[in-house]
Every structure is written in C-alpha cells, then in structure tokens.
C-alpha cells in the first residue's frame, strides 16, 4: 500500500511483479535499468545467491511525477517464483498497490502453471480482502510459438475486457509500457487515499533493506536481541546446497521455521554470554560467535565437523537436529543449530551434548 517517506518527502507506491518461476519478472527489471537514466532510477538490488533464481526479491525504484503535492517514487519488487518460497511471495503481494502478473505466452505446461499461479493469487487476495489492480503481461512474445494476448487471456480464464500487455522482456518491447501503466494505476489509488484520509495517515516507507529484514527474520531477531548483541543472519528456508545437514530433514525443519516466523511465533531463551538462543514454534535455534566464520570454505568446514561430531555422539533424536549456515559470500557466515523442542540440547563446542 502507498506509504510516505517522511525523511525525503516522497510519496511511495509499490508495484509487485508476480508470476511463475522463469516467466521473466527479473528480466523486466533488468530491462528497466537499461531503459531509464540513472537520474530516474535507483540501482537494481537482488539479495541472495548471484546468478540463481530469485530467493527473496529483486528491487528497483523509479522516480516520476508529483501526486498529492509529493514527488512520486515507485518501488518495483519481484516475487520468488518457486513454490517452496510461497511464504515470501504472499508477504510481497499483500503489500502491493498494483500487481504485474508475468507469464509465458506458450501453450502447454507453462500456461497451465501460470493459470494455477494466477488463480492462487486471486484467491489469496480475496481471502485477505485486498483488491489491487492486476495487470497481466504476456511475456516472451519473441518466441515463434507465442500465443496472442487475447489467447493468453482466454487460457488464463480472464474476462474478455481484461487487458493483457504483449511483451518480450528479453528484447525490451512492452516493458516500459507495462511499468508506466502500473505506476499510473498505483499513483491514482494513492491520490484517492490522500484525498480521503490525508497523507499523515500513510505508513512510513519501507526500503529494500527493511523489506529483506522482514522477509529473512532478522527484523524479528533484532527486536528480541539485546542492545549489545551482534545480530547474525537468520537461517533461510531456501539455503544453498551443502549449507544444511541433513539435507532432506533439515529443509523440512527450515520450512517449519519459515511458517513460525511468518506467524510471529518466536521468543528469546536464556543462553550464555556469547550464545543466542530462540524458540520458534516447535523449534529451538542456537548460535554463537564461536561458530561465526568469515568465508564460505571455513564455514562449510565447521558445518562438516559439527555434523561428524553429531553422528559420533550417538545422541538420541539426532534425526531431529539440523545444522545450517546463514549468511552470504563476502560477509560473515554463522552456523545455527536447530532442534525440536523435545529433543536433547544442541552439541557443545567440544562436540558433546550440552547439559
């Protein structure tokens, strides 16, 4: 929803690009970087692994126009398309003033996936009593087998008067037209809200780092940590291969953690001077400065050593224990231990079981 950047005096609207994985959401923003001058836009921000599918979001802002007496800034945000990251998708679309739904214009499995994704989106918005404008973008029109926009609308089950914009995000056609229409729609909605309620009723603006902190759990972590605590990154449900042990059961626990974070079910527990311990739903999470490493290789080596110690200990309920790295290359990486509430306490630094 429209917000107010009180520090810089901007009225801010958010356009969320949603759709299946691989449909072209990130490609839209990359094209817009090439389309608009640096004076009109910010830098593209994409937290998460480089050169991989989006895990959190892509972020770009555009400046333009005056609405309600305020300079307008549009935040353009993409959602992650993979089903495992649906929690993040819903958090993002629920904040949208306008949604651009991007889909491939190809009949067959891609179109069926797009229809399912759009149906879920509309059902989710109805469940939350949200009615943002949805602009449908029929992408990849440069492909020989591409359906016409009218055929895409029919395949998606849209009303005959629902406009579908033909685009090729790879070549750039239709990309600027889409974002201009989306921003105009968002600006019109924001202006009506200002007239009805006044600008002072608008929430404070959230920037890209604030959004990331909300999605990855670190905002919750910061609110629960002490003023002198070093705040580590939180374990991620889409952690890279080799960063979680055991892989299969560990990822299940991480999904449980994600649901608990989304519901705000997290509390701090008493721990040692250098240790952070939290309860999130049924899970207990611990980390400490002793398990903080400055590079990926050292962090992976620490995870491997701890996993071997866990197996050697022969502890009961080892299967309920997860070891996971959190962070990114180029920044400190922390090793977290996650364990079911009813399982034994996590391993000590020496490899034994903590009392």
Looking at the structure, tell me whether residues 254 and 197 fall in a common domain: no
Element (H, E) at 18: strand 10-18
pLDDT grade for 346, boundaries at 50, 70 and 90: very low
**Residues 154, 242: one domain?**
no
Reply yes or no on whether the pLDDT at 340 is more than 70.
Answer: yes
In a shared domain, residues 148 and 21: yes
For residues 152 and 80, state if they share a domain. Answer: yes
Residue 66 belongs to a domain: yes
The domain boundary, picked from 212, 246, 264, lies at 212
Tell me: do 274 and 328 sit in the same domain: yes
Confidence of residue 344 (pLDDT cuts 50, 70, 90): very low
Q: pLDDT of 141-154, one tens digit each?
A: 999 999 999 999 99
Domain boundary among 161, 192, 212: 212
Mean pLDDT value of segment 6-32: 93
- Chosen domain end from 212, 231, 252: 212
Q: Which two tokens stand for residue 122?
A: 């509309």
Comparing C-alpha atoms, which of 191, 217, 134, 188 is closest to residue 4? Answer: 191
Give the CA distances from residue 338 to residues 55, 74, 342, 347, in Å, rounded to whole numbers and listed in that order. Answer: 21, 39, 12, 11
Domain residue limits at 281: 219-340
Instruction: Give alpha helix (H) positions in the chain.
Output: 25-35, 86-93, 109-127, 149-155, 175-197, 208-216, 218-224, 247-262, 296-313
Let me know if residue 354 belongs to a domain: no
pLDDT digits (tens, 9 = 90+) for 70-80: 999 999 999 88
pTM of the model: 0.75
Rg for the chain, CA atoms, rounded: 23
Q: State the pLDDT at residue 87.
A: 76
Give the strand pairing for 3-5 and 59-67.
Answer: unpaired
pLDDT for res 172: 92
Answer yes or no: do 8 and 134 share one domain: yes
Half-sphere exposure (CA, 13 Å, Cβ side) for 272? Answer: 11
Across the chain, what does the average pLDDT equal?
85
Check pLDDT > 70 for residue 52. Answer: no
Query: Is the model's pLDDT at 325 over the cut of 90?
Result: yes
Judge contact between 63 and 210, C-beta under 8 A.
no
Question: 64 and 177 share a domain?
Answer: yes
Q: Domain check: are 166 and 271 in the same one?
A: no
Q: How far apart are CA 203 and CA 2, in angstroms?
A: 8
Tokens 């926009």 correspond to 149
Q: Are residues 26 and 88 in the same domain?
A: yes
pLDDT digits (tens, 9 = 90+) for 101-142: 999 999 999 999 999 999 999 998 998 888 899 999 999 999
What is residue 206's predicted lDDT score, i.e. its pLDDT? 87
**323 and 253 within one domain:** yes
Q: Phi first, then psi: what are they for 333, rounded to 5°? A: -120, 130
pLDDT higher than 70, residue 53:
no
pLDDT in tens, 269-323: 877 777 888 888 889 999 988 999 998 899 999 999 999 988 887 655 576 899 9
CATH number at residue 113: 3.40.50.300
Query: How many separate domains does the chain show?
Result: 2
> How far does the chain reach from its first CA to its final CA, in angstroms?
49
230 in the same domain as 207 = no
Examine residue 348 and state whether it is found in any structural domain, yes or no. Answer: no
């Amino acid at each position: 929803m429209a917000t107010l950047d009180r520090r810089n005096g901007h009225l801010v609207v958010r356009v969320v690009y949603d759709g299946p994985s691989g449909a072209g959401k990130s490609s839209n923003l990359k094209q817009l970087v090439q389309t608009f001058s640096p004076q009109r836009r910010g830098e593209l921000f994409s937290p998460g692994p480089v050169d991989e599918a989006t895990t959190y979001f892509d972020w770009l802002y555009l400046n333009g126009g005056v609405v309600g007496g305020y300079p307008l800034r549009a935040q353009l945000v993409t959602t992650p398309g993979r089903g495992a990251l649906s929690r993040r998708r819903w958090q993002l679309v629920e904040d949208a003033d306008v949604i651009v739904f991007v889909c491939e214009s190809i009949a067959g499995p891609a179109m069926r996936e797009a229809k399912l994704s759009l149906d879920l989106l509309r059902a989710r918005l109805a469940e939350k009593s949200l009615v943002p404008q949805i602009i449908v973008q029929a992408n990849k029109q440069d492909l020989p087998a591409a359906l016409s926009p009218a055929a895409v609308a029919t395949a998606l089950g849209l009303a005959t008067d629902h406009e579908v914009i033909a685009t090729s995000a790879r070549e750039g056609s239709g990309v600027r037209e889409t974002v201009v229409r989306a921003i105009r729609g968002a600006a019109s909605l924001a202006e009506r809200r200002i007239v009805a309620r006044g600008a002072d009723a608008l929430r404070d603006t959230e920037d890209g780092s604030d959004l990331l902190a909300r999605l990855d759990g670190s905002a919750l972590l910061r609110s629960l940590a002490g003023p002198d605590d070093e705040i580590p990154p939180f374990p991620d449900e889409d952690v890279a291969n080799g960063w979680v042990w055991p892989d299969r059961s560990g990822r299940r626990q991480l999904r449980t953690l994600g649901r608990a974070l989304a519901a705000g079910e997290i509390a701090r527990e008493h721990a040692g001077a250098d240790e952070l311990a939290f309860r999130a739903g049924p899970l207990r999470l611990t980390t400490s400065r002793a398990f903080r490493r400055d590079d990926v290789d050292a962090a992976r080596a620490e995870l491997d050593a701890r996993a071997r110690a866990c197996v050697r200990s022969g502890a009961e309920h080892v299967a309920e224990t997860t070891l996971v790295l959190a962070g990114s290359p180029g920044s400190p990486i922390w090793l977290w231990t996650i364990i079911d509430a009813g399982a034994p306490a996590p391993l000590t630094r020496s490899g034994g079981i903590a009392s």
